[in-house]
Each structure stands twice: as C-alpha cells, then as structure tokens.
Amino acid sequence: MAGSSTAAVWAAHHAGCYGPHSRARRHHQLRPLPLPARRGGASLASRPPPRASSSLATAVAAPAVARTASEEAVYEVVLRQAALIEEGAGRRTTRTATAPRRPTRPRWAEEDGAARDGELIGWGLLGDAYDRCGEVCAEYAKTFYLGTQLMTPERRKAVWAIYVWCRRTDELVDGPNASYITPTALDRWEKRLEDLFEGRPYDMYDAALSDTVQKFPVDIQPFKDMIEGMRLDLWKSRYMTFDELYLYCYYVAGTVALMTVPVMGLSPDSKASTEWVYNSALALGIANQLTNILRDVGEDARRGRIYLPLDELAQAGLTEEDIFRGKVTDKWRKFMKGQIQRARLFFDEAEKGVAHLDSASRWPVLASLSLYRQILDAIEANDYNNFTKRAYVGKAKKLLSLPVAYARAVVAS
C-alpha cells in the first residue's frame, strides 16, 4: 500500500529518471508502439499478467524503481505522443491550425438537407456543432464545464468537442444501450473515429471534433486507446493488481490527458522535456479515474464490478463479499485511506506539470484538478462510506476553488 516511502519511490521514478529537466530526449529510441492491439493482434489488455512489480502498488514491499509492465507500455505511448508534438510543430508549441484543412462533407448535414458540399465553415453549422457540444458538457459534467469557462474560446470549444466524443464513447458501454454493445459495435465506432480524423464526420458532434483535430495537433492514438478501454469493460470486471488497474485507468482516463494537452499547449518558457509534461498530464488522468473509482465503489458493485486491486483487498483482510455487503468497517476505512493516499500522489505528480503548460491553460487545469481532488476529501468526510453515500463537492467549495486555483496559477507563472 502507498506510504511515505512510496512517495519517495514515485518521486525518484518520475523525477529522477524522467525529471522535468531531463534532457534524455528518448523519443528517438521508440520501439514500435505496443498499442493499439486491435483485431487480430493481442492487446495489452489480454497480455499475460505482468511480472511482480515495484510500482506505486508494491513500492513498500519492494522499494526498487523499475517500471511495471503497464507503466512501461503506457510510458511508450506518452513518449510517442510527446515526440509527435515535437516533430509536427516544433518544440513547446501552442500551435493552432498549421495542418492543411481538408474539405469536410458531413453526412449529418447531407441528411438534414442543410448542406451538400463544401466545408462546414462558412455554413455557420460548425458554430452550432460546437455550441451543442458545450451544452452536452454543461449538462453532464458541471465540474469540467466550469473549467472550460476559464479557457480561451478556441480551446474551450476544442475541449467541449473532445469531451462529447469521450462521453459518447463511455456511454456505449455504460449507457442505457450498453447491453446491446458488442465488440463489433466498438469496431464500427473506431471506424467512424478514423473517418472523422480523415475529415469525414458522421454527425454534428463528430464534425466539431473533426474540426478540432485539424486545428490542434491532436493524435488519433489516445482516442483509439480509449475505445480499447471500453472493449475491456465489455468482459472484465475484476482487477487482480494495481498494475492491471493502472492500465485500465490509462485507457479510459489517461488518454484524455493525451488528447487535451495539445489543446492546452505547452509553455514556451518551460525547460522541462515534453515527455515529462505529458507524463504529469497522464498522472492527472490516472488520479481522476482512481478518484472516480473510489467515489463509485457501491454503484459499481451493484453492477457486479469491482475496480479495486483484489490483491490489496486481500492483504487488508477484505473479500469481494465485503464489497457487495457494503459495510463500513475499520478494515475498510484503513484500506480506503491507502487508496486515497495513492490517488493523492498522482494528483501531486500532476500538479507539478501545470506550471509547464501554456500560461492561459494553467488556471482551468488547476481548477479542475482541485475540484476533482476534493472528491477524495468528501469520501473522508463521509467516513469512507462510498457504498451508499455519493461523495460530492458542494457549490460553495467549488466556487472558492476558482480564485484559489487562479492564485496558484499566477504563482506558477
């Protein structure tokens, strides 16, 4: 379980090996990307279980700093994404729209009879598409929406479009039609993703994203990896170790960081390596998902799912039955304290990266980081009853977080 020596290992691992000022520039050594592992290939998710690790999960027992199999695989993706940014647009760019715009003929527009040819821009439809994305974000994710209100208008629209695609992807396996979703349906969703990246959006939400990925140097890989995470959700409802869970968290949430950093932009003044900043961003995705998981233990259990490392549960003297029974005991409190501590370490790691983002993006990112982190405080305030009580951050606390985040963002400048 995570402890103070875990923090030391974590810090040594991420700051020492790939610290902010590491000039290692390892991207030229990239091995072929282990992800995606789609049709025909063995996916990371279906690999044999990783070797015994010395990661955050097991650091106390084995305080070496080697990366686990999942961390290694995910780090490869991070390196590749960082390299793409550097190759495509020059280092630490806040580039917008350097890629040539391809003509866009959206099928939804044809179906509506609203447009037959040409680009969406000029038809005034793209503005509507982004507005609709903003409405969805406002309705489903008040916390993120608040964060986007602090962004520049171009970035805000791009993040809305990314948000909507992520939400729709998640809805495929979590929404009302989830029981009808098959691997083939996810394959079709992936084909549709490829089409929109090629400038052939299917509907207006896709059209907004299609425009976004032409304006910002956003790569398709994290989107494909998120779909891989949804494939996992179709068959996997138990995680034996933290290493397994970490990979899942990368797929469904770490990917969001890799999608959004090219929109947020990196600071031209930062001396940190691009891959280090990406790694901090990844930590935010992981932290958010671990927080989601800890908040939703009861809800997930009612769907037969346990997103907790079963080996750590056993070490704490707890069983799956204890989760389904949902009784808050001292054993549960102790277990939860460790899980919360680990999530906080990921938030701390992420926070270090914020100063290296473009200055206009620091406030929104810090604000949303702080709002999400406070969910962990709320679980504590509920005396660790995440079986029947939903942890949430009240309006007053949310509003107070904004000036606090602003002050921290200014200090980070």
Ligand X SMILES: CC(C)=CCC/C(C)=C/CC/C(C)=C/CC/C(C)=C/[C@@H]1[C@@H](COP(=O)(O)OP(=O)(O)O)[C@]1(C)CC/C=C(\C)CC/C=C(\C)CCC=C(C)C
CB 2 within 8 A of CB 342: yes
- Give the nearer residue to Mn ion in terms of CB position, either 164 or 318: 164
The partner in contact with residue 148, picked from ligand X, Mn ion, none with C-beta cut-offs of 5 to 8 angstroms by kind, is: ligand X
Q: How far is the CB of 170 from Mn ion (least distance, A)?
A: 4
Q: Which tokens go with 15? A: 């700051």
Count interface residues toward Mn ion (CB under 5 A): 2
Q: How far is the CB of 315 from Mn ion (least distance, A)?
A: 28
Indicate the helix (H) or strand (E) that contains 59.
none
- Give the nearer residue to ligand X in terms of CB position, either 56 or 264: 264
Stretch that binds ligand X, among 100-108, 217-225, 256-264, 378-386 (CB under 6 A): 256-264
Task: Look up residue 347 and give its amino acid.
Answer: F
CB 248 within 8 A of CB 239: yes
Member of 125, 159, 336, 405 binding ligand X (CB under 6 A): 159
Q: Which tokens go with 32? A: 């072929």
The partner in contact with residue 222, picked from ligand X, Mn ion, none with C-beta cut-offs of 5 to 8 angstroms by kind, is: none
C-alpha to C-alpha distance for 192 and 385, rounded to whole angstroms: 41
Task: Look up residue 364 and give its amino acid.
Answer: P
- Give the nearer residue to ligand X in terms of CB position, either 109 or 294: 294
C-alpha to C-alpha distance for 33 and 246, rounded to whole angstroms: 18
Member of 365, 371, 391, 402 binding ligand X (CB under 6 A): 365
- Give the nearer residue to ligand X in terms of CB position, either 80 or 115: 80
Task: Look up residue 356 and give its amino acid.
Answer: H
CB 171 within 8 A of CB 141: no
Count interface residues toward ligand X (CB under 6 A): 33
DSSP H helix total and E strand total for the chain: 18, 2
CB 262 within 8 A of CB 217: yes
The partner in contact with residue 289, picked from ligand X, Mn ion, none with C-beta cut-offs of 5 to 8 angstroms by kind, is: ligand X
The partner in contact with residue 57, picked from Mn ion, ligand X, none with C-beta cut-offs of 5 to 8 angstroms by kind, is: none
CB 333 within 8 A of CB 386: no
- Give the nearer residue to ligand X in terms of CB position, either 61 or 410: 410
C-alpha to C-alpha distance for 378 and 368, rounded to whole angstroms: 15
Q: How far is the CB of 285 from ligand X (least distance, A)?
A: 4
- Give the nearer residue to ligand X in terms of CB position, either 43 or 292: 292
- Give the nearer residue to Mn ion in terms of CB position, either 144 or 332: 144
Angle at 257 between CA 253 and CA 259, to 5 degrees: 105
Q: How far is the CB of 242 from ligand X (least distance, A)?
A: 16
Which residues lie below 8 Å from residue 53, measured CB to CB, with a gap of 6+? 62, 66, 67, 68, 69, 71, 241, 243
Instruction: Scan residues 98-157 and list those touching ligand X (CB under 6 A).
Output: 144, 147-148
Q: Which x/- pattern, by CB under 6 A, does the window 257-296 give for ligand X?
A: x--xx--x------------x--xx--xx--xx--x---x
- Beta-bridged to residue 309, according to DSSP, are 239
The partner in contact with residue 377, picked from ligand X, Mn ion, none with C-beta cut-offs of 5 to 8 angstroms by kind, is: none
Stretch that binds ligand X, among 73-81, 158-166, 191-199, 329-337 (CB under 6 A): 158-166
Q: Which tokens go with 64? A: 């070496």
Task: Look up residue 86 and give its amino acid.
Answer: E
SS3 239: strand
- Beta-bridged to residue 357, according to DSSP, are 266
CB-count burial class (<10 Å; 0-12, 13-18, 19+) for 178: middle
Instruction: Scan residues 153-192 and list those touching Mn ion (CB under 5 A).
Output: 170, 174
Instruction: Scan residues 160-179 and list those touching ligand X (CB under 6 A).
Output: 162-163, 166-167, 170, 174
The partner in contact with residue 128, picked from Mn ion, ligand X, none with C-beta cut-offs of 5 to 8 angstroms by kind, is: none
The DSSP symbol for 31 reads: P
- Give the nearer residue to ligand X in terms of CB position, either 251 or 384: 251
Instruction: Scan residues 323-362 and list those touching ligand X (CB under 6 A).
Output: 350, 353-354, 357
Q: Is 296 in the site for Mn ion (CB under 5 A)?
A: no
- Residue 95 CB neighbour total at 10 angstroms: 16
The residues binding ligand X (CB under 6 A) are 144, 147-148, 159, 162-163, 166-167, 170, 174, 252-253, 256-257, 260-261, 264, 277, 280-281, 284-285, 288-289, 292, 296, 350, 353-354, 357, 364-365, 368
The residues binding Mn ion (CB under 5 A) are 170, 174
